[in-house]
Amino acid sequence: MINRILTLERRTRTHAADPDAWCDLAEARLEEGQRVEALAAAESAAQSRVESAAQWVRIGDLFRALDLRDHARQMYLDACEFDRSSALAHLRLGQMLLAEGEAEDAANLFATAVWLAPDDGAARIGQAQALIALRSYDEAREHLMEVIEDTPEVIEAWGLLADLHLRRGQAAEAFAALRKGFSLRNTDRALGLRLGRLLREAGFARDAAITLATVARHHPDEETLLELAEAQRDAGERAGSAATLQRAADEGSARAVAQLGAVLRQEERYAEAIPLLRRAVAATPTDAELYVQLGGALMATGEFGAAAAILAKGVMNAADDRRLRLMLAEANAAYAGEPDESITPEESVEMDMVARASSGLQAGDMAFSGNLKQFAVVDLLEFLRLNQRTGVLRLISEGRVGEIHLSGGRLAGATTSQSTRLGDLLVKSNLLTPAGLEKSIRLQQGFGRPVPLARILLDNDIVERDALRPVLEEQVQTAIGHIMQWQDGHFAFESDDSGATPGRLILLDTGMVMLEALRLQDEEKHTAGGQ
């Protein structure tokens, strides 16, 4: 292909005024995916010495292939103006207008094309399409019958005839048209899929499966195989449906993997279903239904911890789905209630604390809880940052407690039981008196919901913003650094996306704080390793 393009480029240099030379080059470029270069060649063709309507049409086809519809339309208009007797020019412009919903103008252009070339089946098919859009069904049928009588092997005519009958509510006639067309060319994918779908909708599942199996022999693509599997399932051919889904899955179809996993789960074949559903979740991490299927399968086998982990990811990654939240609560409760001897009394207390932390959440809240072994702190914070969440993330790990306040995904405050609190740092820095701290804490407790201390200090003009910021940055950085090292324990996120005014907050970039914490951890490891 490279040699061909080089040859065509040489030809355009020696025949710069020849539109066909430029069109040949543009088509070759487009075939190679070189859209910018193809456009340049097409524009050169339009500016060269065009000597026929067919050449204008060819240039228009190039612009249309490049999705430049206005340019294409102008080329087709130029073709019609250049030669008013060109059926091809009127046909192309009509097809363009019909695709853009201008059926009436398209019908007039097709009528001209039919008058200029009465034996041109493409012109009559275009006219029939426009007339069907205009609901002139009788006239459309006349054109289609002309084509069918002259050239019955034109499959598109049979498909349009089926459309016409369906619009008139004539299902039997539509079936007959599709069957006839498919019998003439059973390798036609589009016609076979339409016939198969129509048969399924009418309740003829076995006939649909036979038709779609024929299509799949010639076109074993994802869409065809999935249609066939559904028809086989409707026909009661469960083994055949599963085999077809497996075939599509082996070809790399993520949808087939998901459907096969769901079928196996329904049949309670969990050992086979779970690996497939895990693959499906990995391939489509935003599909809530997949998390429901996988979480349900894991819970059915008693793997409540694994179920809680996958459902927590579903709550965070997929569209908001009440089923996920309810299943997550059920999995967490079951996991916490398992008679597992490996769970220490301290861990049991931690589970109770997490449960209490999330007990006030409403069903509609974007809320979740889980185990830090199943979902790392870094992943939690990254999710909250990317999704611009507002609320409080509470964490408990080996007797340590942490609390992180976020607003729009940015950090508004953070504290742990092992790090110095913001108020104490301010007192130590002589920016706040002990009495002022006590007053601020009373104001904070009076809110009735979690509020960062920094907001109280700013809203009540207790500490200047410029003085508060560096102390807050240091304190939050230290707290986040501690929390990011926690690998065992539990978390609960309480959402506060109510739209309530956030007050005067100092917001820190969550990503930058995490990066700095990771840098400091890495530095500590290197220092320790060198000693």
What's residue 316's pLDDT?
64
**Mean pLDDT, the chain, whole residue set:** 86
What's residue 366's pLDDT?
41
User: Hey, which residues does 492 pair with through a beta bridge?
Assistant: 369, 394
Q: What is the mean pLDDT of residues 107-113?
A: 96
What's residue 367's pLDDT?
52
Query: Same domain for 388 and 277?
Result: no
List, in order, residues 6 or more apart from 23 with CB less than 8 Å away. 41, 42, 45, 55, 58, 59, 62
Strand order in the sheet with 410-416: 368-371, 490-495, 391-397, 400-407, 410-416
DSSP 20-40: HHHHHHHHHHHHTT-HHHHHH
Predicted confidence (pLDDT) at residue 287 exceeds the cutoff of 70:
yes
Query: Same domain for 388 and 503?
Result: yes
Domain containing residue 282: 253-342
Q: Which residue has the higher pLDDT, 298 or 501?
A: 298
How many domains in the chain? Answer: 2
187 in a structural domain:
no
- How large a percentage of the chain has pLDDT more than 90? 52
Coil vs helix vs strand at 368: strand
Could you give the CA distance from residue 194 to residue 175 in angstroms, rounded to a whole number? 10
Last residue of a domain, one of 292, 325, 342: 342
Could you give the CA distance from residue 182 to residue 525 in angstroms, rounded to a whole number? 70
Four-CA torsion 5, 11, 15, 17, nearest 10 degrees: 0
Task: Confirm if 62 and 71 have CB atoms less than 8 A apart.
Answer: no
Q: Which residue has the higher pLDDT, 468 or 348?
A: 468
User: Hey, which residues does 302 pair with through a beta bridge?
Assistant: none
Q: What is the mean pLDDT of residues 286-290?
A: 87
Query: Same domain for 330 and 430?
Result: no
Query: Same domain for 446 and 511?
Result: yes
Predicted confidence (pLDDT) at residue 522 exceeds the cutoff of 70:
yes
Task: Confirm if 49 and 22 have CB atoms less than 8 A apart.
Answer: no
Query: Same domain for 500 and 382?
Result: yes
Name the pLDDT band for 308 (thresholds 50, 70, 90).
confident
Query: Same domain for 483 and 418?
Result: yes
Residues 5-63 pLDDT 10s: 889 999 999 999 999 999 999 999 999 989 999 999 999 999 999 999 999 999 999 99
- Residue found under tokens 């003439």: 184
- How large a percentage of the chain has pLDDT more than 70? 89
Alpha-carbon distances, residue 192 vs 66, 176, 182, 226 (angstroms): 29, 13, 6, 14
What's residue 318's pLDDT?
65
422 in a structural domain:
yes
Q: Which residue has the higher pLDDT, 284 or 244?
A: 244
CATH number for position 282: 1.25.40.10
Name the pLDDT band for 67 (thresholds 50, 70, 90).
very high
What's residue 398's pLDDT?
80
Name the pLDDT band for 358 (thresholds 50, 70, 90).
very low
Alpha-carbon distances, residue 70 vs 47, 108, 113 (angstroms): 16, 20, 22
Residues 473-499 pLDDT 10s: 999 999 999 999 998 888 888 887 554
Could you give the CA distance from residue 336 to residue 418 in angstroms, rounded to a whole number? 26
Query: Same domain for 431 and 314?
Result: no
186 in a structural domain:
no
Name the pLDDT band for 320 (thresholds 50, 70, 90).
low
Q: What is the mean pLDDT of residues 232-242?
A: 92
Predicted confidence (pLDDT) at residue 191 exceeds the cutoff of 80:
yes
55 in a structural domain:
no
Q: What is the mean pLDDT of residues 362-368?
A: 44
Predicted confidence (pLDDT) at residue 226 exceeds the cutoff of 70:
yes
List, in order, residues 6 or more apart from 333 with CB less than 8 Å away. 355
Could you give the CA distance from residue 332 to residue 491 in angstroms, rounded to a whole number? 11
* Ramachandran assignment for 409, one of left (phi > 0), alpha (psi -120 to 50 degrees), beta (any other): left
Query: Same domain for 271 and 373?
Result: no
Last residue of a domain, one of 308, 327, 342: 342
Coil vs helix vs strand at 93: helix
Alpha-carbon distances, residue 315 vs 274, 383, 499 (angstroms): 19, 11, 21
What's residue 332's pLDDT?
73
- Residue found under tokens 């399409």: 129
Task: Confirm if 444 and 481 have CB atoms less than 8 A apart.
Answer: no
218 in a structural domain:
no
Residue 462 corresponds to which tokens in the numbers above?
A: 């207790």
What's residue 365's pLDDT?
40
Query: Same domain for 411 and 450?
Result: yes
Strand (E) or helix (H) holding 404: strand 400-407
223 in a structural domain:
no
282 in a structural domain:
yes
Q: Looking at the whole model, is its pTM more than 0.75?
A: no
410 in a structural domain:
yes
Last residue of a domain, one of 342, 376, 392: 342
What's residue 330's pLDDT?
82
Query: Same domain for 385 and 420?
Result: yes
Query: Same domain for 386 and 512?
Result: yes
Predicted confidence (pLDDT) at residue 350 exceeds the cutoff of 50:
no
Name the pLDDT band for 391 (thresholds 50, 70, 90).
confident
Residues 249-258 pLDDT 10s: 998 888 999 9
Name the pLDDT band for 148 (thresholds 50, 70, 90).
very high
Predicted confidence (pLDDT) at residue 353 exceeds the cutoff of 80:
no
Of 339-353, 400-414, 435-449, the one with minimum mean pLDDT is 339-353
Coil vs helix vs strand at 352: helix
Query: Same domain for 338 and 372?
Result: no
